[in-house]
Amino acid sequence: MPLNIRTYHELTEADRSGLGDQIMTQRRRVADRLATVRRVVAVLSGKGGVGKSFVTAGLARALARSGRAAGVLDADFNGPTIPPLLSLPVARCTLHEDGIEPLVSAEGVRCFSMAFLVEDGRPLAFRGPDTESFVWRGALEAATLREFLADVAWGALDELLVDLPPGVQRFQELTELLPAPPAVLAVTIPTPESRDAVRRALRAAIELKAAPLGVVDNMVGGPFAGSAADELAAEFGIPVLARVPFHPTDDVFAGIARKLGSSR
């Protein structure tokens, strides 16, 4: 004789743990915080070493110089590089009742990065069981992204640029946390290898209903040969927003900023 076990929903008294409700509260906190952000732009490539952070920082500075309120969330928790690219020294983060103030660059770019929190020269390490950390580390990094979105007092922004690490996992987490999919700015170098990695990342972004704004061709005119940006632009029907040489001048990024402004 099997036991008579009812379903979760047949038990009508409150679920004191309410794990689902706790998760929804976290999501609402993200949505509330970003209600004053006009657009979230994910900067992705799917591979490392193509200069995502360099492009992100250059673009953020250009946006700020053009009078738009810009922020950068450095989502590369294990290799944060945005602060020096914005000429931002590491300083104490000011806590308020319901959030942490971002640090602000000389141009006015608001920034938050793991570099502000972790000791110099040490890896990001979490407390937890010594073995099989791969089981829980991903969940903790996703929680970190959620807290960077929800607990930093971003304020009113025209553009919040999210500098993603290589791969697409962080992008997927970002998309799930946001109330709506982010816009996407793809960065590539000219090589076919980069093209293939960026193609995968862009395909993943589109499958998650994100809108690609365009592709930035980075490190142009140097040792890397190929036409990755043009091929990706043709394949996805998106513009090549800029061709960034090895030693770009400010007007290269100002050009991207102008094009982003007209792509709303």
Partner 1 sequence: MKFLCVECDRQMQFEERQLPGDGTLAAAFRCPACGRVVALLTNPMETQLVASLGVKIGGTTLPPQPMETVRGMVVTGREDAFDEGRERGAGSGPIWSMEAQERLARVPNFVRGMVKRIYLDYAKDRGIAEITPAVMDTARTELGLEGM
SS (H, E, C) 70-82: EEEEECCCCCCCH
Check residue 247 for interaction with partner 1 (CB under 8 A): no
* Measured distance CA(216)–CA(54) in Å, rounded: 11
Q: In terms of CB distance, is 126 or 246 closer to partner 1?
A: 126
- Binding residue (CB under 8 A) for partner 1 from 4, 35, 209, 223: 4
23 vs 211, which CB is nearer to partner 1?
23
Q: Which of residues 55-74 bind partner 1 (CB under 8 A)?
A: none
> Residue 102: which residues within 8 A CB-CB, separation 6 or more?
71, 110, 111, 112, 152, 153, 154
122 versus 209: smaller Cβ distance to partner 1: 122
Half-sphere exposure of 260 (CA within 13 A, CB side): 33
- Count of residues of this chain found to bind partner 1 when the rule CB under 8 A is applied: 50
Cβ 190 to partner 1, closest distance in Å? 37
User: Of the ranges 3-11, 42-50, 66-74, 232-240, which one interacts with partner 1 (CB under 8 A)?
Assistant: 3-11
Judged by CB under 8 A, the residue of 11, 134, 223, 247 near partner 1 is 11
Choose among 39, 100, 114, 55: nearest CA to 256.
55
Site mask, partner 1, residues 153-192, x = CB under 8 A?
A: ----------------------------------------
CB nearer to partner 1: pick between 36 and 78? 78
Measured distance between the N- and C-terminal CA atoms of the chain, rounded to whole angstroms: 64
Residues in the chain: 264
Write down the least CB distance from residue 93 to partner 1, Å: 5
Pick out residues in 18-47 that bind partner 1 (CB under 8 A): 18-19, 22-23, 26, 29
Q: How far apart are CA 217 and CA 230, in angstroms?
A: 8
Task: List the interface residues with partner 1, window 86-115 (CB under 8 A).
Answer: 90, 92-100
Tell the residue number behind the tokens 């920082």, with chain if given. 57
Enumerate long-range contacts of 94-99, CB under 8 Å, 24 or more apart.
Answer: 96/153, 98/151, 98/153, 99/33, 99/151, 99/152, 99/153
| C-alpha of 206 from chain center | 16
The contact mask relative to partner 1 for 117-156 (x = CB under 8 A, - = no) is xxxx-xxxxxxxx--x--xx--xx--xx-xx---x-----
Q: How far is CA 86 from the centre of its chain?
A: 16
Contact stretch for partner 1 (CB under 8 A) within 6-14, 164-172, 197-205, 247-255 = 6-14
Distance, CA of 156 to CA of 183 (rounded, Å): 18
Give the binding site for partner 1 (CB under 8 A): 3-6, 8, 11-13, 15-19, 22-23, 26, 29, 90, 92-100, 116-120, 122-129, 132, 135-136, 139-140, 143-144, 146-147, 151
